[in-house]
Chains A and B, each alone.
Chain A
Amino acid sequence: MSWPEGTRSSRRSLQVKFVPDEEVLKHIADDAGIKVRKDKAQLSVSVKRFVKKLENISDNEAQEILEEKNYIAALGICAEDPMGNGSNISGGEVYSFQTPKRSSKMAELASELAQTPEQNVAPDHSKCPEKMAKPPQSNSNFMWAEIVWKCSLILKEFVSTTPYRLRKRLAASDPCLESESEYSASCSEEEDEKDQKEVSTVLPDQKTPAKTKAASTPPPRNNLAKKKKDEKMSNLVEEYFEAHSSSKVLTSDRTLQKLRKRRLDQQTLHDLLKRAPLAYAAEIKDLNQQHESLFSKWMLQLHLGFNIVLYGLGSKRDLLEKFRTSLLQDSVHLVVNGYFPSITVRSILNSITEEVLDHIGTFRSPLDQLEFIIKRFKEDSSLELYVLIHNLDSQMLRGERSQQILAQLSSLPSIYLIASIDHINAPLMWDQAKLSLYNWLWYETTTFSPYVEETSYENSLLVQQSGSLALSSLMHVLRSLTLNARGIFRLLAQHQLEKKDNPSYPGLPFQDFYQQCREAFLVNSDLTLRAQLTEFRDHKLIRTKRGADGVEYLLIPVDDSTLTDFLEKEDEDV
């Protein structure tokens, strides 16, 4: 039962190709129509595989039947297992395409028929989109006939009525087909998870053997047992698209903490990445050179009143830097690092007014400031300014008002803007009016270079937030405060550290805190403490939260290790 390698790979490619179509279908069709269509799409995929199988083993009719026997046996196992739960796993799995309404009906049917494994097969078939509408058969021989007949039907009509699952299960249940099942799990990526489950029911604790082709690997197996539990809990195992409409999500429960690996902090991450060689350096360099040849053209177009926006995968920072160093050395230019998390339009405008226009003074609103800038630039035609914005679509700049201001700025004839965007939905932030103000020329500059700077400010889930930044700022703020104020903060911090083992620690109630502060002779009245706390809050050193009972809770929003460090440092100082 080992098929030639070639067919596998060809099937693989076939299947991968089908994924997008199916996804698109899913996307387009609405909930009602989708089920059937989806089924069909999937089935047509499976049919193709199936046909290929049969072509390859045209004389293996007998073996087919053997498989089927195994399948029935497997079903029997499955059916017995969940009876205690009222509904059954196999129902959950096999009917995963169904709408809830239908699934309940199926559950009824299943419980009716669950006496013998053979009977369990019948609902399986009625699930097919075409609804073969066979009455439940108790005669197993008859069943065989039916199945075999269906297989031939598939061959003839190319419209499958046999569920994909069935085929796979057949394969999976046969011990000697293990590698094949492995394969089907790995190659049918569009439904990873379900495949996993499928395998899990049959081969719960199988260790992944060496893959014949590791290009597309199956997700790890050792979580499968957990998944099984997951499934048992939710008998409403729903389709991908249905998952989207409901809040139920089906993923494994594994967390990073259970991995033995420690979390990396920003610095080690950086070091590690430095050690990793950059793939395709030569090609990337070629790409960059292509882009660099456009520099003079950009200059020309900037001067003609267009502004340039760069898009495409890969960091465009180096490219812009190069542009800056090669062409803008002698002219006034402003580089805006949009990816920096605390950048604002205001800071951009400030740097224009203060550094470029040498204006000292403040403005009431960014709009006033903008007006001032526009006036100055209109008065003095010799003023020229190049503005380079890395990541115009960053969190801080993508707001409507910011974009409006930037657009107005860029519409000035003597301000030349060259910006880069990365987000897939970045163009959505501009409406017609803004677009015409920006007067963009689009340039595709795919560089494939890693977003080193751009992502370094993001709070990635995987990167442990190194406490160094928070710690230094904490020290900085605290040092500027009075001794009493520091004492207050220390008290709060100590208290929080004492309670660090309690995960649901709500914070220190205000009254308790006041009491403690009084005892330590730090404050003499409720009001002074409140004033002090307001100051803390302004510096974002503490957070207050009102509990359900109306009591105010105080909490330092810093993680424990940083807090410990902080207290140690403080002790040294004192």
Chain B
Amino acid sequence: QQIQEDLNKQLLDNLVSFLSQSHSEFQEKTTEWTCRMKFREIPTAALVLGVNVTDHDLTFRGLSDVLQENITPYIALLEAKDCPGIKNLMQKLMGQLMNCDIDVDTLEDEDCVQVSQNKIRCSMSSLINWYESVTKKTDSETPSKKRNSSSRHWQSPPVVVIFKDMESFTTKVLQDFIVISSQHIHELPLVLIFGIATSPMIIHRLLPHSVSSLLCIELFQSLSCKEHLSTIIDKLLLTSQFPFKLGEKVLQVLFNIFLYHDFSVQNFIKGFQLCIVEHFYSQPLSVLCCQLVDAKKRVNFLSHDQCENIRRLPSFRRYVEKQESEKQIALLTTDSFLKEETEKLLEDLHVYHENYVSVLRCLHVFTSSLPKYPLGKQIRELHCACLENQVWETEEYESSLQLARMLNKTDLVTMLQQCVEILLSSSGKEFDKTVEKLKEFLTQFQNLEAEASQERDVSVSSQKELQKKTDLYHLQKTLLELKESRRSKKLTKFEMLRFEVIDYIDSLVRTYLVPADNRTLHEVVYFNAAAVLRGHLNAAPRTALHTALNNPHWYLKNQALKCDGGGISNKAPDICIVYKLHLECGRLINLVDWLEAFSTVVMAGEEPNADAASSDQVDDIIHARFIRAVSELELLGFIKPSKQKTDHVARLTWGGC
């Protein structure tokens, strides 16, 4: 299971590197434009980040890291929750600036500590003093060794203040801060960065004109979360390097959570991690889910039990059934033979993945530009479709082929070229022939060029003929004739070739995009327990409570609880009975009535052995049980005590839910 930790790490690294990549452009811009700082105006960058709030943290961290390296050591990250007032804001700001300063120049330690100790006088002037002292010192004291680092920064590096979540800041605080700092802009080169989740309009809504005029705002748009996602999918799912794969259902669940719940790449990754964990935890054969070389080694060390596990895999059984009888026996009895076979199969699987990915990309090239996107615009949709079942049997595939047959030449040529590139870049060995074939197609297209021009002449002449005739009747007739002839006419060479190309692509798809379920040993690398995943990531506590209360039989497998169609069984647990009874009431519930109803139900449920002597006893117990059930309901939030009337409780839910 160490592998899996490695994988996790790799995963996060990928993301971080990607994010910093995506933000490098901002930095460049920022640097350029901070140069032309204007008098009395605070340069401000507004970063529109989209709604995936959870990812912002990571983004900002990456951003501040990059900024720190390239532009300035003075960065403060501010969050709204830390800054309820201007004073807190200043405090936080000072603290962060001075701390980061300590990190950069350890020489000035004492000085900084001194400054930060008088936190009470946190004001702009002290900030400026500090800034001056710091910059002076870096100017005067820095030896040649330090020159290097500071030359990377400017002579007077700007102080960058990042507001992580602009929307949740109180307007007053922001306004005050901006006004104050604009007073001091000469002494203190300040740069603000606003993180915005909604739209750039929010700046103007939050800040009145008098304040926003002090800012020189430049707007940056970060990549949309969907693009982040597709990069991640590209890097993680559609590579043969990464041995772990997701099944179709699981992918669907993850995408659904992403698209319909939070748009958070981070959560997507979390889900992915969970899949990995689950897979390694629940599938004993997941030891084989690693790089091919390791897997081969591990196959040799498989114990007998593990071999048995392999034999038990449904896909392996199917495979065995297809073999001849002797081989079947060998596979089922001798471990060593099984291991050899497994090795071979794993290799097959690996090759399959390699081919799969490249062909999938080729297909994506074709389908992504078709009108209406019958197979989806994104490669992930295509991927899901391919995993789900045999893609060539679907209607969407049919229609997309139909559409592809109508592509014009230039598109087709560029697509073919792209395909060739993809296939060349892939490591699969079987693609040599394919590439050749495609190249052949390309040359044929080029040859067609000349003929095509000829043909065009012909068609032009016919058009000219057509223009001559102005009579409506004749026009109609000729048009019909033309149509007729077109239909009957032998297909042009181009069309023939086009058909050929599409057919070829089709054949490629049919050979390589076989759904993974059909492959032997696919269980080793594919994770398919979508229900588990959904349960853990997208749980429905309310539903669970509801079923438990309404239908205790679901959990407690006792025949007595089995009831038809939602009625209350009088043997149900107390809380269920009480819950059911309370469903019938309005906004307020009279406890006495409730208790009596409850006791009647319970009494009827128990055997009518109530003799006069023990009835009082029983009553007390029932009373106690009722009290317990009611207070449990209160704990669950269905009712609350009410002062409106004596001995009443208020219902907090509505209707039957």
Residues of A whose CB lies within 8 Å of any CB of B are: 12-13, 16-17, 19-20, 23-24, 26-27, 189-190, 192-193, 211, 214-220, 223, 240, 243-244, 249-259, 261, 264, 268-269, 272-273, 275-276, 279-280, 283-284, 286-287, 297, 300-301, 304-306, 311-314, 339, 367, 404, 421-427, 432-433, 435-436, 439, 441-444, 446, 448, 450-451, 454-455, 458-463
Compute how far the CA of A297 lies from the CA of B561 in the bound complex, rounded to whole angstroms. 31
> What are 21 residue pairs bridging A and B, where the CB atoms are less than 8 Å apart in the complex?
A13-B566, A20-B566, A20-B657, A23-B655, A26-B655, A211-B600, A240-B587, A251-B589, A251-B648, A253-B645, A254-B590, A254-B593, A255-B646, A272-B621, A273-B624, A280-B558, A304-B273, A313-B544, A424-B545, A424-B653, A460-B634
Query: Could you say which residues of chain B place their CB within 8 Å of the CB of A273?
Result: 621, 624-625, 628
Q: Do A17 and B636 contact each other (CB < 8 Å), given the known contacts A272-B620, A448-B573?
A: no
Compute how far the CA of A181 lies from the CA of B289 in the bound complex, rounded to whole angstroms. 69
B635: interface (CB < 8 Å): yes
Are the CB atoms of A454 and B635 closer together than 8 Å?
yes
Are the CB atoms of A27 and B634 closer together than 8 Å?
no
Nearest B residue to A455 via CB reads: B631
Compute how far the CA of A312 lies from the CA of B566 in the bound complex, rounded to whole angstroms. 20
Within the complex, what minimum Cβ distance (angstroms) separates B246 from chain A? 18
Are the CB atoms of B586 and A251 closer together than 8 Å?
yes
Within the complex, what minimum Cβ distance (angstroms) separates A154 from chain B? 24
Nearest A residue to B266 via CB reads: A436
Within the complex, what minimum Cβ distance (angstroms) separates B527 from chain A? 15
Within the complex, what minimum Cβ distance (angstroms) separates A413 from chain B? 12
Q: Do A216 and B573 contact each other (CB < 8 Å), given the known contacts A20-B655, A421-B541?
A: no
B654: interface (CB < 8 Å): yes
Q: Do A462 and B593 contact each other (CB < 8 Å), given the known contacts A20-B656, A211-B604?
A: no
Within the complex, what minimum Cβ distance (angstroms) separates B560 from chain A? 9
Query: Could you say which residues of chain A place their CB within 8 Å of the CB of B623?
Result: 261, 264, 272
B393: interface (CB < 8 Å): no
Compute how far the CA of A244 lies from the CA of B620 in the bound complex, rounded to whole angstroms. 34
Candidates A16, A404, A444, A463; contact of B539 at CB < 8 Å: A444
Binds A, one of B135-143, B419-427, B549-557: B549-557
Q: Do A19 and B587 contact each other (CB < 8 Å), given the known contacts A219-B593, A460-B631, A461-B647?
A: no
Compute how far the CA of A16 lies from the CA of B82 in the bound complex, rounded to whole angstroms. 53
Within the complex, what minimum Cβ distance (angstroms) separates A42 from chain B? 14
Candidates B561, B634, B657; contact of A458 at CB < 8 Å: B634
Top 3 nearest A-B pairs (CB, nearest first) are: A214-B604, A23-B655, A442-B539
Known: A273-B624, A311-B544. 7 other contacts (CB 8 A): A220-B596, A306-B274, A312-B545, A339-B635, A442-B537, A443-B535, A463-B627
Query: Could you say which residues of chain A place their CB within 8 Å of the CB of B636?
Result: 313, 422-424
Q: Do A256 and B591 contact each other (CB < 8 Å), given the known contacts A211-B604, A433-B53?
A: yes
Compute how far the CA of A287 lies from the CA of B555 in the bound complex, rounded to whole angstroms. 7
Within the complex, what minimum Cβ distance (angstroms) separates B388 from chain A? 26
Compute how far the CA of A252 lies from the CA of B537 in the bound complex, rounded to whole angstroms. 45
Are the CB atoms of B585 and A450 closer together than 8 Å?
no
Query: Could you say which residues of chain B place their CB within 8 Å of the CB of A275?
Result: 621
Query: Could you say which residues of chain B place their CB within 8 Å of the CB of A461?
Result: 591, 630, 641, 647, 649
Query: Could you say which residues of chain A place their CB within 8 Å of the CB of B583?
Result: 19
Q: Do A439 and B539 contact each other (CB < 8 Å), given the known contacts A283-B556, A425-B637?
A: no
Compute how far the CA of A261 lies from the CA of B603 in the bound complex, rounded to whole angstroms. 17
Most B C-beta atoms less than 10 A away, residue of A219, A269, A439, A463: A219
Within the complex, what minimum Cβ distance (angstroms) separates A509 from chain B? 26
Nearest B residue to A196 via CB reads: B593
Candidates B575, B588, B604, B648; contact of A215 at CB < 8 Å: B604
1/0 contact string of B280-307 vs chain A (CB within 8 Å) = 0100000000000000000000000000
Residues of B whose CB lies within 8 Å of any CB of A are: 5, 8, 53-54, 57, 81-82, 262, 264, 266-267, 270, 273-274, 277, 281, 535-539, 541-542, 544-545, 548-549, 552, 555-558, 561, 564-571, 573-575, 583-593, 596-597, 600-601, 603-604, 619-621, 623-628, 630-632, 634-638, 641, 644-649, 653-657
Within the complex, what minimum Cβ distance (angstroms) separates B187 from chain A? 30
Are the CB atoms of B544 and A301 closer together than 8 Å?
no
Query: Could you say which residues of chain B place their CB within 8 Å of the CB of A218?
Result: 597
Are the CB atoms of A192 and B539 closer together than 8 Å?
no
Are the CB atoms of B591 and A312 closer together than 8 Å?
no
Nearest A residue to B82 via CB reads: A367
Are the CB atoms of A313 and B575 closer together than 8 Å?
yes
Nearest A residue to B545 via CB reads: A313
Compute how far the CA of A216 lies from the CA of B581 in the bound complex, rounded to whole angstroms. 8
Query: Could you say which residues of chain B place their CB within 8 Å of the CB of A426?
Result: 541
Query: Could you say which residues of chain B place their CB within 8 Å of the CB of A436?
Result: 54, 57, 264, 266-267
Candidates B548, B573, B593, B648; contact of A220 at CB < 8 Å: B593
Candidates B575, B586, B596, B621; contact of A249 at CB < 8 Å: B586
Q: Do A432 and B656 contact each other (CB < 8 Å), given the known contacts A255-B592, A313-B549?
A: no
Compute how far the CA of A252 lies from the CA of B586 in the bound complex, rounded to whole angstroms. 12
Are the CB atoms of B544 and A312 closer together than 8 Å?
yes
Query: Could you say which residues of chain A place their CB within 8 Å of the CB of B657?
Result: 20, 23-24, 27
Are the CB atoms of A276 and B601 closer together than 8 Å?
no
Are the CB atoms of B601 and A217 closer together than 8 Å?
yes
Are the CB atoms of B544 and A446 closer together than 8 Å?
yes
Are the CB atoms of A462 and B603 closer together than 8 Å?
no
Candidates A189, A251, A446, A460; contact of B548 at CB < 8 Å: A446
Are the CB atoms of B8 and A244 closer together than 8 Å?
no
Within the complex, what minimum Cβ distance (angstroms) separates B263 from chain A? 9
Query: Could you say which residues of chain B place their CB within 8 Å of the CB of A442?
Result: 535-539, 541
Nearest A residue to B629 via CB reads: A450
Q: Do A249 and B588 contact each other (CB < 8 Å), given the known contacts A219-B593, A254-B647, A461-B641?
A: yes
Query: Could you say which residues of chain A place their CB within 8 Å of the CB of B57?
Result: 436
Q: Do A448 and B555 contact each other (CB < 8 Å), given the known contacts A19-B656, A214-B600, A251-B588?
A: yes
Are the CB atoms of B597 and A314 closer together than 8 Å?
no
Query: Could you say which residues of chain A place their CB within 8 Å of the CB of B266?
Result: 436
Query: Could you say which residues of chain A place their CB within 8 Å of the CB of B549?
Result: 313
Compute how far the CA of A431 lies from the CA of B589 in the bound complex, rounded to whole angstroms. 33
Within the complex, what minimum Cβ distance (angstroms) separates A552 from chain B? 24
Query: Could you say which residues of chain B place their CB within 8 Å of the CB of A13?
Result: 564-567
Within the complex, what minimum Cβ distance (angstroms) separates A416 from chain B? 15
Nearest A residue to B536 via CB reads: A441
Compute how far the CA of A367 lies from the CA of B589 in the bound complex, rounded to whole angstroms. 43
Most A C-beta atoms less than 10 A away, residue of B574, B626, B631: B631
Nearest A residue to B273 via CB reads: A304
Query: Could you say which residues of chain B place their CB within 8 Å of the CB of A20?
Result: 566, 655-657
Are the CB atoms of A251 and B635 closer together than 8 Å?
no
Q: Do A252 and B593 contact each other (CB < 8 Å), given the known contacts A314-B548, A436-B54, A455-B628?
A: yes
Query: Could you say which residues of chain A place their CB within 8 Å of the CB of B574?
Result: 279
Query: Could you say which residues of chain B place their CB within 8 Å of the CB of A220?
Result: 592-593, 596-597
Are the CB atoms of B548 and A313 closer together than 8 Å?
yes
Compute how far the CA of A256 lies from the CA of B593 in the bound complex, rounded to whole angstroms. 10
Q: Do A216 and B557 contact each other (CB < 8 Å), given the known contacts A269-B624, A442-B541?
A: no
Nearest A residue to B618 via CB reads: A276
Compute how far the CA of A189 lies from the CA of B637 in the bound complex, rounded to whole angstroms. 22
Are the CB atoms of B624 and A276 closer together than 8 Å?
yes
Are the CB atoms of A215 and B601 closer together than 8 Å?
yes
Most A C-beta atoms less than 10 A away, residue of B548, B573, B574, B583: B573
Are the CB atoms of B597 and A217 closer together than 8 Å?
yes
Candidates A250, A256, A339, A459; contact of B647 at CB < 8 Å: A256
Query: Could you say which residues of chain B place their CB within 8 Å of the CB of A314?
Result: 548
Nearest B residue to A219 via CB reads: B593
Are the CB atoms of A284 and B556 closer together than 8 Å?
yes
Compute how far the CA of A221 lies from the CA of B619 in the bound complex, rounded to whole angstroms. 19
Most B C-beta atoms less than 10 A away, residue of A27, A259, A261, A279: A279
Compute how far the CA of A12 lies from the CA of B567 in the bound complex, rounded to whole angstroms. 8
Are the CB atoms of A427 and B541 closer together than 8 Å?
yes
Are the CB atoms of A286 and B541 closer together than 8 Å?
no
Within the complex, what minimum Cβ distance (angstroms) separates A116 from chain B? 35
Are the CB atoms of B566 and A423 closer together than 8 Å?
no
